[in-house]
Structure 1
Amino acid sequence: MSSITGIYYRDGRFVDYNQIKKINDILCHRGPDGSGIEVNGSVAFGHQMLYTTVESIGEKLPFQDNSSEMMITSDARIDNRLELSEELNIENNVKIPDSLFILRAYQKWGENCPERLLGDYAFAIWDGNEETLFCARDYIGVKPFYYHLSENGFFFSTEIKALLLIPEISSKINELKAAFHLMEISGERRLTFYQDILRLPAGHSLKIDSDKIKIKKYWNLDPKLELKLDNEEYVQRFREIFTEAVRCRLRTPFRIGFELSGGIDSSSLVCTAKNILNSTTDYPILTFSHSFKELPECDETHYIKKVINMGGIKPVYLRSGQISPFDKVEEILKFQDEPYTNPNISLFWNLYKKMNENSVRVSLSGNDGDGVLSRGHNHLKELAVNFRFNDLIKEVNGFSKIHDKDPFSVFMQKVLFPLVPEFFKEIIRSTHPEIRIGDFVLDNKELSERLDLEKHYHDYHWTNRPTKSKEYHYYLLSSGNHQTTLEVLDRCTGAFYIEPRYPFYDRRLLEFCYSLPTEQKFSEGWDRYVMRHALSGILPSEIQWRSSKASFSPVLEKNLLQFEEKLLNNLIYHDNNRISDFVNMKSVKASYQRYQSKTQEYDPLGDPRNIEKFALLTIWLEQNNKYLYKQKECKNI
């Protein structure tokens, strides 16, 4: 992952070269292939270079185009170069970097240019003629963009740590964001754990000059998007779009690593890539997988081997059953800058480290394929509401047979309970407060009342949850959770000189999957129906028709206490004034004791996620002033 940094003094002050160099140098870990800085009066850009495409090799960023008085810095991979080359009158060859496509797109379409770009990107363009700064971030949030805005200045960076070096920017903790962390609210798009630092939301652009700032949402999933084709056409079209989404992300001369879990999503990615690459290279595909010998309920080795046995694949396994959820936690936090949302991030940290040891520079992941394809949420309830009882019986029986469940229990869970009016569900919830996540912070009455946390909790967890299947799919695809997860993964891969790519987040694929009729998403009891049929002959049949997948939850539930009981005891039973500002320690201790003594039955009050989030925030609060790297001298390009 490359990185970008920038300073714009809105009051006309000239940027000190040493200032931009200081914030750019701290991101040296993201740019092993060189560092660049350009200063132009009151504006300065920085860049750390990681080569990941043929076109990026030898690219010099920031780039100043003297003919147009424009300057650009970017971290980008543009996938529709061929289309853009015709519209922008640029040759599509290896000598033309993606950043030039972005710059020319801006010159032609102005602030509407992000709408015309496909791929993953974060960039900033200084327009010297208009004296405006224009920034944009890709539609789903693969590439991060953090900034600080004041009356006199605007500062941006790929990582928070660079902004914390600027004297004007305070390191004051954002209490609301910390509370959201404990309440498991991860869909908020703008806040960070620092009061003075914000995120540019995915799918947004920003235009700023000395007087005003304009933040615009340039992409929004059309809720009315709908496609009507014959059944076989749906299958054929999915196969074409998915193959192209994978092909675009194979554009690199460097070694690629594939995350292979054994589930249908990652397996589909590996098998499709294998079909593409086997015709162009003699090298085997390199896959990286977790094995859980000590936790057989998590282990997917049987399914992983089904893919490996197809040939042309070299597997690398990471023994993950003995990895603590807090393994290397201080090192990870040093790169993350904030408490992270993924409870098993240590597993992925070690997986990316293994990729780095195998000289991988680009990783491909099947992340969130089930969300993009849809599991057909609320479809059975819709059939009942619309009096399609024959279809309902067929689907309930099909689902019951596939998942080996009693049809009556499926009917109760998938049809009857979803039909209970929200009013009665609210009554049930109010009489069972133990089902809430985040009691630690909600029980801190002073903080809860001051920040109105009950309302935030209620609004995020219980309201505005759609009841119709297509509306629910829209809700999932529009969630800010994607952005938050991708930001965490970006900082993990960035620590190991790896660029992550996610074919399921291809905009064309996401829009196509959303536009499908529900019967193509869920049919005969099968979720991801169209994908299962589209990959016939590509996927091993045992994976193609899997009805479930293993969960990583037991890793946290068992390993947190097994490996970190001493640490947890120290954090929970010793006074810590900083964490006491956010939580009710009595609630923390009660929950921890229930977690220590709980049986196999799920106990919401003893949920290890609550304990893990508390411990992580505590460690971060104690150490957050120590995370910045020592200053380095970066190699200039």
Structure 2
Amino acid sequence: MCGIVSLYNKRQKPVQQEAISAMTGVILHRGPDDDGFHLEDNIALGFRRLSIIDVEGGHQPLFNETRDIWIIGNGEIYNYKELQQWLKDIGHVFHTDSDIETILHLYEEVGTDAPKHLRGMFGFTIYDSRKKRLFGARDHFGIKPLYYVETNDSIGVASEIKSLLELPGFKREVNPTAFYHYLTFQYVPDPETMFAGIYRIPPAHSFVVENDQIKLERYWDVEFKPDESKPFSYFVEGTRSVMLESVDKHRISEVSRGAFLSSGVDSSSIVGMLRTFEPVKSFSVGSDIPGYSELDYAKRTAAYLGSEHFERVINAKQYMDELPRLIWHQDEPVADPSAILLYFVAQMASEHVTVVLSGEGADEFFGGYNIYREPHSLKMFSGMPGWMRQSIGYMAERLPDQVKGKNFLIRGSKTVEQRFFGNALIFSEEMKKRVVMEDITRSESYVSPFTITEEIYKRASEYDDVTKMQYLDIHTWLRGNILMKADKMTMANSLELRVPFIDLKVFEFAATIPTKYKIANGTTKHVLREAMKDFLPPEIQSRKKLGFPVPTRHWLKNEFYKWAKEIIFESKVDNLINKAYVLYMLDEHREGNADYSRKIWTILVFMLWHQIFIEQKHNFEPYVSPNVDLRRKKNSSLQHIG
């Protein structure tokens, strides 16, 4: 796990060492163990290393036998041993046992098709001096981040946005279109970022920089292939088998491992499966507000599974004190309160291990969110002609809010494409008009959120409604929220996170499960629950998903109230946000007249982000936790388990 930076000078001038050093130094937390650089012609590669595989020999940048191809890479390749052996058999000479060197020789053999052969999480850049080009790619699902920017002089690619902000002359400005989308989704959907001019390289895409241009190309796509001919037992047995194999693959390292544990099926399954291979350290976090902590369940689960368990309780002050720095680590505003608790559990885990396994992705792949049950509950509307559904919706909109069933009729009157934006829908278009200063109906930068979802739904037009929802979440919620916070909050603690559910082989099998076996027996991800039964305590097998719940609803009425008001008054966003309306929501929420907690939190996170990155009110220096040195001593005698 590392941080990478590559820089291409469009004026064909040499890149200065000071420039690439500054861009690499600001992501010290991603790789406190080592750094490395390669400057040649008009390019520069910069690298920060967190040593995981081939600790002694995996220094980067790495080069081929003739030193005309160089690589820097972030991530882990779980099939690198098989690829390495194949490449050795056909004559390639390896200087290290690094998985990243395997990508280098694979590129020599198959060129820009290299990403198609990889199983893992990755973001990498290759400099091919023979062709005078940079080539790179991001993994299939977006587990590892990769961003790019183009200025008058340069094209830069990096693991984190803050590296690109170091480019001389780059002007920090809010991307207004991204801001509008953020108000809908609570994050910025691909490929935009909240910074004007900086973009994400989307998952499953490669890039080429040559002739002073950057071009992106998709190398793989999500495809569901439900197999109705197989019995339920086939999918249960297959899920158990593919998941055990994935967990085993995700153990590869030369350093200590552990796992996050909440109290749901996903993380508990990971701990249970990992426990079949080795002793496990598990880590949980909760708040000090009753009803917002799952520590008791997690503790009982850990006892049942036999893991060495660690937990931490977080209060409002700790959360508030750390929030600005953690928004700096995120690069962009992501208004998911659980991201901050994820940081605290990662901080605790970093005292004991270098690698953690976690349960992200199970819901998207196996159909786990409760909202996926909605198509079944609205089935009565699906056979109605369009005009009838529209009429029902028209009448329902005019019913008083207190009329029972109003929302059911409204949602039933809409198609899944009209009602489902993913797991977060913060501000409706009507509420945006109240919270945004500009008249969005006349704004040149305003783009309807339907432009994001419409293109995704088009590619999923042949699927049933539940699968369409999964497809949308994989392309929005998973990459924009779940994986973004997972990477940034763990790397803030120089901790590598691995996600065995989000594996190419796992997805290929999960994609064959028919919807009738995913949403069944009154629950979600039915196949996965059955497949994991042997690894879970009975009380966990059917629990609702909560993850790491955060009491922002309570805190905004109490401990956070004055602090929130200060942020609203101080933040210089008057051209973007109607502060009077935000203050109205805050007071209404405090008085208990409405629950505006998610909306208020979305605005507060944006305001803090604006203070940090645009106003530059806070100055955060690269920081490495003292836990890293403590951990190095503990890891010094560990052996490779390959």
TM-score band by shorter chain is 0.7 to 0.9
TM-score normalized by structure 2?
Answer: 0.83
Matching residue of 1:132: 133
Distance (whole Å) between structure 2 residues aligned to residue 450 and residue 171 of structure 1: 21
For the 8 Å contact 1:171–1:195, the answer to whether it is kept is yes
1:468-521, Cα deviation, whole Å (9 max, x unpaired):
222222222233542443223322211211011111111221232122111221
Name the amino acid aligned to 1:354: M
Deviation at 1:538, TM superposition (A): 2.0
Deviation at 1:300, TM superposition (A): 2.3
SS in 2 for 1:340: coil
Distance (whole Å) between structure 2 residues aligned to residue 141 and residue 615 of structure 1: 27
Matching residue of 1:21: 21
Match of 2:448 among 448, 456, 466: 456
Name the amino acid aligned to 1:294: I
Name the amino acid aligned to 1:541: P
Match of 2:285 among 284, 290, 298: 290
Quick one: percent identity of the two aligned structures?
Answer: 23
Deviation at 1:336, TM superposition (A): 2.5
Distance (whole Å) between structure 2 residues aligned to residue 439 and residue 97 of structure 1: 49
| Cα gap change, 1:554 to 1:185, in 2 (>3 Å) | closer
Distance (whole Å) between structure 2 residues aligned to residue 88 and residue 628 of structure 1: 47
Q: Which runs of 5+ in 1 are unaligned?
A: 278-283, 388-411, 427-432
For the 8 Å contact 2:9–2:153, the answer to whether it is kept is yes
Asked whether 1:566 is paired with 2:558, we answer no
Matching residue of 2:578: 584
Distance (whole Å) between structure 1 residues aligned to residue 83 and residue 107 of structure 2: 12
1:49-448 matched pairs, under 5 angstroms? 49-53=49-53, 55-67=54-66, 69-89=68-88, 95-150=96-151, 152-184=153-185, 186=187, 188-224=189-225, 226=227, 228-277=229-278, 284-292=279-287, 294-295=289-290, 297-310=291-304, 312-320=306-314, 322=316, 325-356=319-350, 358-375=351-368, 376-378=372-374, 380=376, 419-422=412-415, 439=432, 443-446=436-439
SS in 2 for 1:456: coil
Deviation at 1:48, TM superposition (A): 0.7
Distance (whole Å) between structure 2 residues aligned to residue 241 and residue 311 of structure 1: 20
Distance (whole Å) between structure 2 residues aligned to residue 119 and residue 534 of structure 1: 23
SS in 2 for 1:609: helix
Match of 2:536 among 536, 539, 546: 539
SS in 2 for 1:6: strand
For the 8 Å contact 2:240–2:532, the answer to whether it is kept is yes
| Cα gap change, 1:104 to 1:626, in 2 (>3 Å) | farther
Name the amino acid aligned to 1:497: S
Matched positions, count: 586
Asked whether 1:516 is paired with 2:501, we answer no
Deviation at 1:585, TM superposition (A): 2.2
1:435-514 matched pairs, under 5 angstroms? 439=432, 443-446=436-439, 449-451=442-444, 453=446, 455-457=447-449, 459=451, 468-479=465-476, 481-514=478-511
Name the amino acid aligned to 1:373: F
Distance (whole Å) between structure 1 residues aligned to residue 415 and residue 622 of structure 2: 55
For the 8 Å contact 1:2–1:50, the answer to whether it is kept is yes
Matching residue of 2:606: 617
Distance (whole Å) between structure 2 residues aligned to residue 483 and residue 109 of structure 1: 31
Matching residue of 1:37: 37
Name the amino acid aligned to 1:561: K
Name the amino acid aligned to 1:591: M
Distance (whole Å) between structure 2 residues aligned to residue 221 and residue 87 of structure 1: 27
| Cα gap change, 1:74 to 1:330, in 2 (>3 Å) | same
| Cα gap change, 1:618 to 1:631, in 2 (>3 Å) | closer
For the 8 Å contact 2:182–2:188, the answer to whether it is kept is no
Matching residue of 1:393: none
1:71-97, Cα deviation, whole Å (9 max, x unpaired):
111112101124313432369999420
Matching residue of 1:404: none
SS in 2 for 1:194: coil
Deviation at 1:66, TM superposition (A): 5.0
Query: Which range moves more in the overlay, 308-317 or 182-191?
Result: 182-191
| Cα gap change, 1:560 to 1:258, in 2 (>3 Å) | farther
RMSD: 3.3
SS in 2 for 1:542: coil
Deviation at 1:563, TM superposition (A): 1.8
Deviation at 1:264, TM superposition (A): 0.7
Q: Which runs of 5+ in 2 are unaligned?
A: 384-404, 420-425, 625-642
For the 8 Å contact 2:235–2:527, the answer to whether it is kept is yes
| Cα gap change, 1:345 to 1:560, in 2 (>3 Å) | farther
Deviation at 1:4, TM superposition (A): 0.6
| Cα gap change, 1:138 to 1:611, in 2 (>3 Å) | same
